[in-house]
Every structure is written in C-alpha cells, then in structure tokens.
C-alpha cells in the first residue's frame, strides 16, 4: 500500500490561482507577514481518513479506495491593514478562484479526485506566528485508489 499524500499536496501547491501563493507541507513560513494572500497547511492537516477494500487479498495486494481531507488556512490580509468589508468580498472571490482551480484539474498526480469539502472559521484567524489575519480554513476531499 502506498498512499500519495505528499504527492497530492505537491500537486495542490502547483495550482495557479491569481494573487495567491500556495505552500507545500515543507514550505510553511514561520510568519505570513509581507507575503500577500497565502494558503498553508493547517497543523491538523489530514483528517476524516477512510479506507474501503475493493478486492480480496493481503494488505499489500488488495485494491482499496482511500479518502481523506486536506485542511488549509487562507491568510488573505493582515488585520488592521485596511477596510474589513473590502477584504471579505475579495477573500470570498479568492476562495471561489481556488475552488475553480481545484475543480478544473484535468490530470492530478497522486490521486484520482479532488473536490472542495468545506470552508470554516471565516473571519479573524492567526498565522503560524499568531498574527491576526482575515481569512478562513478550507478543506479539500481527496480520493486515491491504492494498489
């Protein structure tokens, strides 16, 4: 069995979304200050893991469908740096652009499907250095065929 979580995360980090920098698991900055809109993995990055056997056989040969969520944080703009209502409108537009990029993926390395799975905590959130940002947490549902 060979899960491709790292490969999937790398594929997501290579998406092109105008005005947004998407970080991989090994490139999370200590602080988002001065980096512009940024999408980073959350500490509770992989959640809702589920595995279903699709065939008989040992663990290394059985066909399986694996699903899980990858959880990200969108750090859109540092709090106190502008007009709140303006940030929310532009932040929601950026989330829509991200969803569009995810839904438009034709070839995905490491998985067979990637779909939006939810948005939470929209409002004031913290970057890794505990600076306040306008942003939200975003979940992406991944499906992999293993073996």
More reliable by pLDDT, 90 or 110: 90
So what's the pLDDT on residue 56? 82
Report the mean per-residue pLDDT for the chain: 88
Cβ(6)–Cβ(27) under 8 Å?
no
Minimum mean pLDDT range among 2-16, 77-91, 117-131 = 77-91
Residue 129 in this model has a pLDDT that exceeds 70: yes
Break the chain into its structural domains and give their ranges.
Answer: 5-146
The 3-state secondary structure of 48-84, one letter per residue: EEEEEECCCCCCCCCCEEEEEEEEEEEEEEECCCCCH
Other CB atoms closer than 10 Å to residue 116's CB: what's the count? Answer: 16
pLDDT tens figures, 37-87: 999 999 899 999 998 888 887 767 788 899 999 999 999 998 876 666 677
The dihedral built from the CA positions of residue 29, 26, 145 and 17, taken in this order, carries a sign that is: positive
Integer Cα distance of 126 and 79 in angstroms = 10
Residue 98 in this model has a pLDDT that exceeds 60: yes
Topology of domain 5-146 in CATH is: STM4215-like (3.30.2000)
Q: What is the mean pLDDT of residues 112-122?
A: 90
So what's the pLDDT on residue 93? 92
Q: What is the mean pLDDT of residues 104-122?
A: 84
Measured between alpha carbons, how far is residue 27 from residues 30, 31, 79, 103, 128 in Å? Answer: 9, 11, 23, 24, 12
Interacting residues of 84 by C-beta distance below 8 A, sequence separation 6+:
134
Measured between alpha carbons, how far is residue 120 from residues 7, 57, 116 in Å? Answer: 25, 40, 12
């Amino acid at each position: 069995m060979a899960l491709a979580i790292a490969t999937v995360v790398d594929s997501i980090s290579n998406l092109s979304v105008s005005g947004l920098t998407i970080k991989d698991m090994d490139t999370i900055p200590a602080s988002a200050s001065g980096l512009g809109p940024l999408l980073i993995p959350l500490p509770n990055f992989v959640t809702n893991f589920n595995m279903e056997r699709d065939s008989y056989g040992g663990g290394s040969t059985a066909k399986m469908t694996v699903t899980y969520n990858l959880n990200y944080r969108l750090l859109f703009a540092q709090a106190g740096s502008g007009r709140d209502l303006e940030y929310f409108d532009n932040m929601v537009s950026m989330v829509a652009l991200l969803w569009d990029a995810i839904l438009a993926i034709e070839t995905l390395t490491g998985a067979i499907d990637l779909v939006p799975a939810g948005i939470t905590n929209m409002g004031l959130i913290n970057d890794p250095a505990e600076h306040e940002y306008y942003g939200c947490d975003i979940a992406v549902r991944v499906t992999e065929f293993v073996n």
